[in-house]
Amino acid sequence: GDLIISCGSSLAPVNVLWASENLAKSVAIMNPAPVPLRRFDLVIAPAHDRLRRANVIQTAGAVSSFGDDDLLMAKGRLPAHPNFRRDRPGLDQRPAIAVFIGGETAYYDLNAAFIDALCAQVTAACEVVGGWCLVTTSRRTSPAVERLLSERLGHHPRCRFLLIATRDPINGTMEGMLGWADVAVVTGESISMVSESCASGRPVIVVEPPLRPGRTARSTLTKHQRFLRGLAKEGYARVHPIPEVSHAIQRALKERRSAKRLDTLAPVRDAVARLL
C-alpha cells in the first residue's frame, strides 16, 4: 500500500517497520511516543497535546465528521433501538436534549453525586421547555453512575432513551442521538464525545467534572482544560458549571441559531492528499 496508518502509541513501532518494508508513507494518529515524531511522514494529533514539528497536523479535537445526511439517517434508525420509548410519540416535535456521559480518568472524578446533579439540571430544563432527553454512558462509566442513571432516568417521563454502554447495543446510537438533538450536553473529560458533538452542528454545552483530590492545586491546565477552553474560545462549545446547565440549555433552545460546526477532517484530508 501507499500508506501505513496506525492510531496511538502501541502500534507506532509496527507502523514504522511496515512502512519501511513496503516503501510506504507512515501516518500516525495521536501521539506515537515513545517513537520519535521524525520517524513518521505525518502525525495527526489534537492541538492540546502540544506536538510541534513540520510533519505534525494539529486538529481541534479527536478526528470526527458527521454530515447532515448521516445524522438524519441515524435519527430515523434510533426508534428501532430496544431502549427507545415509543409510547410518547407526541414528544417527537418537542425539543430534545442529548446527554453524553463519560467516565473517571486520572484527573477527573465523574462520581454519582456529580451525575445526580447533572440529571436534575437536564430534567428541569426538559420540564420548562416541554421537551425530553436521550442519555448514554460510555464504557468507562462506573457501575455506581450506571445504577444512579437507571434509578433516576429509567422510568422518568422526560427520558425517552437511556443507554448503558456496558450492556446495551451501541452501534450508531451517538449519531442517532445527535440526529434527534436540538442541544447536546457532554461531560468534559471525554475528548472524543465532545469532539463528535461539536462536529454535529448542534449547540454543545460542556460540563467539566470535578478534579480528583490533589489535582485542584495544579498551576497549569490539564490537557482536557486546554482543549475545552480552545473550543469555547473558537465558539464550538460553551463550558458551564453544573448549576448553570438548565439555564444554558434553555438559552440555547431559545436562540435557535446554527452552531459553529467543528471539522477536524478537512486538514487531515488535505495533509494526506499532499503525501500522496
CA angle 111/116/121 to nearest 5° reads 130
SS3 content of the chain, % helix, strand, coil (to 5): 40, 15, 40
d(CA 40, CA 30): 12
Which three-class secondary structure string do you get for 3-64? EEEEECCCCHHHHHHHHHHCCCEEEEECCCCCCCHHHCCEEEEEHHHCCCCCCEEEECCCCC
Cell of 233: 474560545
- The mean pLDDT of 241-249, rounded to a whole number, is 97
What is the chain's mean pLDDT, rounded? 89
- Model confidence at 112, pLDDT cuts 50, 70, 90, reads very high
- The pLDDT of residue 138 is above 80: yes
- The mean pLDDT of 196-206, rounded to a whole number, is 94
- The pLDDT of residue 84 is above 90: yes
3 state DSSP class of 2: coil
Cell of 35: 517513537
Quote the crossing angle between the two packed helices 143-153 and 112-129, to the nearest 10°. 30
Res 172: pLDDT: 84
CB 267 within 8 Å of CB 59: yes
Q: First vs last Cα of the chain: how many Å apart?
A: 11
CB 161 within 8 Å of CB 87: no
Res 276: pLDDT: 72
Counting residues of the chain whose pLDDT is more than 90, the rounded percentage is 59
Exposed (0-12), middle (13-18) or buried (19+): which is 87, by Cβ within 10 Å?
Answer: exposed
- The pLDDT of residue 218 is above 60: no
- The pLDDT of residue 266 is above 70: no
- The mean pLDDT of 255-270, rounded to a whole number, is 75
- The pLDDT of residue 153 is above 60: yes
d(CA 219, CA 223): 13
CB 122 within 8 Å of CB 149: no
- Model confidence at 188, pLDDT cuts 50, 70, 90, reads very high
pLDDT, one tens digit per residue, over 28-72 is: 888 899 899 999 999 888 777 778 888 888 877 666 667 889 899
Lowest mean pLDDT among 42-51, 69-78, 242-251: 42-51
CA angle 171/60/191 to nearest 5° reads 45
Res 1: pLDDT: 62
3 state DSSP class of 232: helix
What φ, ψ does residue 76 adopt, rounded to 5°?
Answer: -65, -30
Cell of 128: 420548562
Neighbours of 229 (CB within 10 A): 13
Counting residues of the chain whose pLDDT is more than 70, the rounded percentage is 93
- The mean pLDDT of 224-247, rounded to a whole number, is 93
Higher-confidence position of 142 and 220? 142
Quote the crossing angle between the two packed helices 112-129 and 245-255, to the nearest 10°. 40
What φ, ψ does residue 57 adopt, rounded to 5°?
Answer: -100, 125
Res 63: pLDDT: 67
Tracing cell 484527573 back to the chain, one arrives at 107
- The mean pLDDT of 206-224, rounded to a whole number, is 79
CB 97 within 8 Å of CB 122: yes
